[in-house]
Amino acid sequence: MHPFIARPEHGVIWITGASSGIGRALALKLAGEGYKVAVTARRHDKLLELQAEASEQPGSIIVLDGDVTSAEDMEHTVAAIEYQHGPLALAVLNAGIYLPARGEDLNHDVFDRSFAVNLHGVINCLVPAVRHMRARGHGQIAIVSSAAGYGGVPAGAAYGATKAALINMAESLNFELDRMGIHIQLVTPGFVDTALTGENKFSMPGLMSAEDAAKAIAAGLKSPGFEITFPKSFTYRAKLVNFLPYSLYFRVIRRIIDGRRPSQASGHHPNPHPAE
């Protein structure tokens, strides 16, 4: 059986974290291809700006306010899509934050906020989306993780942990969802030029614009493959590093980070990739 791939006639695409960065660029890209795109984020004004920008596109943008950290909000959002705008054909679960977590300054807040948005925020969307798709016997879901989930890096204890969890979750769910006719995909970008990575003061190999990242994701969504990863020249190397014994792994990562570390006076710390 061929995996289900959403087309404009199948219904609505839902993108979370669509007020900026990859989510915003992807919404514009898919609206330009004729899709009806529902967008969710906490910044209502930014969503309205996105809707206005897409007004001349073949498709359309539907603004649905909501906080992914609220399971009730996401239940209402999916219900609004299904009963007011059309069947949910594809969910791109993209909302995320990056907060540095450093060993010398560990605190609960960084971990709680990171897990609330990056992990539980995906689960809150996933549960109602799968329920409706299962009832129809088909659907498509893309979970946006990050190459930062492949292995640990300095200051990434919270962010990287959430992204690693998403990778494992998507891999595990693939077995059951495939039998239900739901095509699940994992998106693992490298460095993408967004507002947050713009603060980094170190070299970011393979840095891509949000628009190019959106093009890569849009192309991947039309494929039967499981992982959508880019730029491959960077993400494949990142995967290979994690096959090293830990003694070598830590040495390689330290060398990379030390060679790209911002000055201590700058106050900036490495940001692997903000998903939103």
Q: Is the distance from CB of 90 to CB of 130 less than 8 angstroms? A: no
Q: Which of 51, 63, 114, 126 is nearest to 274 (CA)?
A: 114
Catalytic status, residue 159: yes
Residues 6+ positions from 209 with CB-CB distance below 8 Å: 192, 193
Catalytically annotated residue among 159, 236, 246, 249: 159
End-to-end CA distance of the chain: 33
Active site residues: 159
